[in-house]
Amino acid sequence: MSAMRGILQQLCPRCRTGKIFRKSVWLFPRMYERCPACGLKFEREDGYFLGAMYIGYGLGVGAIAVLAALVWELLKWPLLKSVVGGIVLFLPLAPVLTWMARVLWIYMDQAIDPDRS
Ligand SMILES: [Zn+2]
């Protein structure tokens, strides 16, 4: 399985069969501490996901820019109003981008410094 498919399906970067997230009763998926299939520890140390926040920030700014451009083009609103519209449209996407940023961070980290334990 390719890395891109593993990222989109949120599977472990090492074995690509175990899931990274489990569903919770609150509809917000919680992460497994370790891969259910191969035992890879996802959060390698305290503060590990700080790097994922940078990825999430980049994804968020990009998504807001695209949405604001769509509002600006389709509704012909002034630029500032279009940016505010883009931010409002982005809000429901924020949790999904946060989870995807974590998956991307785990994949990047495993590509650069694989956990061989
Ligand atoms: Zn695994």
Distance (Å, rounded) from C-alpha 93 to C-alpha 116? 34
| Per-residue confidence (pLDDT) for residue 91, from 0 to 100 | 95
Q: How far does the centroid of ligand 1 lie from the alpha carbon of residue 19, in Å?
A: 8
Q: Is the pLDDT of residue 25 over 60?
A: no
Q: How far does the centroid of ligand 1 lie from the alpha carbon of residue 21, in Å?
A: 12
Q: How far does the centroid of ligand 1 lie from the alpha carbon of residue 11, in Å?
A: 8
What is the domain partition of the chain in residue ranges? Answer: 3-112
Q: Is the pLDDT of residue 23 over 80?
A: no
pTM of the model: 0.85
Token pair of 32 as six digits:
């497994």
Closest to 53 in 3D by CA, of 90, 87, 97: 97
Q: Which protein residues have a CB closer than 5 Å to ligand 1 (ion)?
A: 12, 14-15, 18, 35, 37-38, 40
Distance (Å, rounded) from C-alpha 25 to C-alpha 102? 20
| Other CB atoms within 10 Å distance of the CB of residue 60 | 17
